[in-house]
Structures are given as C-alpha cells and as structure tokens.
Amino acid sequence: MRPVYKTQTGVGSSAWIPVDYIQAPFQIGFGVVVTGTVDYTIQHTFDDVFNPTVTPVAFDHPVVAAQTTNQDGNYAFPIRAIRVTVNSGTGSAALTVLQGLSA
C-alpha cells in the first residue's frame, strides 16, 4: 500500500482509509501532524467500509486518543480501516498511514 494522507480540519472525522486486513504479517505505522490547536483521536474499525448498508463502528486507538501534539503509533493486529477524528479545536490533524508489504 502506498502512503495515504488524510487531513481533518475542524471538528469531525476524515474519510476512512481502508487497509489490507488479510496481509500477513499485518503491520501499519501512522503519524499525525497538528496545525493550530486541536484535540484528536485515531480510530479504527473492523467493519467493511465499502458496504453501504453497514455503519462502521469506530474504536479509539489505545494510545493515540485525545491528543493535542504530533504523535505516531502502529497497529500490529488486523483492522479494516483507520481515520482521524478531531474532537475539538480550530486547527487540523494530518494523518499519514503506511502499511508494510509481505516479503
């Protein structure tokens, strides 16, 4: 997967970034760069974001939640998609996602 970038400006959530949940080993790294003043959370879902009849359930990342500064993190176990949610503030949170490739 090529790097994917999503920026959320103001309160709300970015679009979901689907990932290859079948890949083994599963490995995703991400980073968030903050501009201005925001409180943000990285979220993931196990639901199919391509299925229009499903409303994905969002789960907060266990470490990168309610953050206000640049942060990075990872997922070592399969998820279906990732996004950034700005909880409050007037700035933006820019999310970069990288998923490793199988050898």
Query: Per residue in 12-67, pLDDT tens?
Result: 999 999 999 998 889 999 999 999 999 999 999 999 999 999 999 999 999 999 99
- Top pLDDT among 34 and 101 is at 34
Q: What is the pTM of this model?
A: 0.93
pLDDT value at position 6?
A: 87
Question: In the chain, what are the helix, strand and coil shares in percent, each to the nearest 5?
Answer: 0, 50, 50
Closest CA to 79 of 22, 4, 12: 22
Cα atoms in the Cβ-side hemisphere of radius 13 Å centred on 4? 20
pLDDT range class, residue 100, cuts 50, 70, 90: confident
Instruction: Please determine, for residue 3, whether its predicted confidence score (pLDDT) is greater than 90.
Output: no
Distance set, CA 86 to CA 16, 54, 71, 91 (Å):
14, 23, 14, 9
* Domains assigned to the chain: 4-99 (2.60.120.1090)
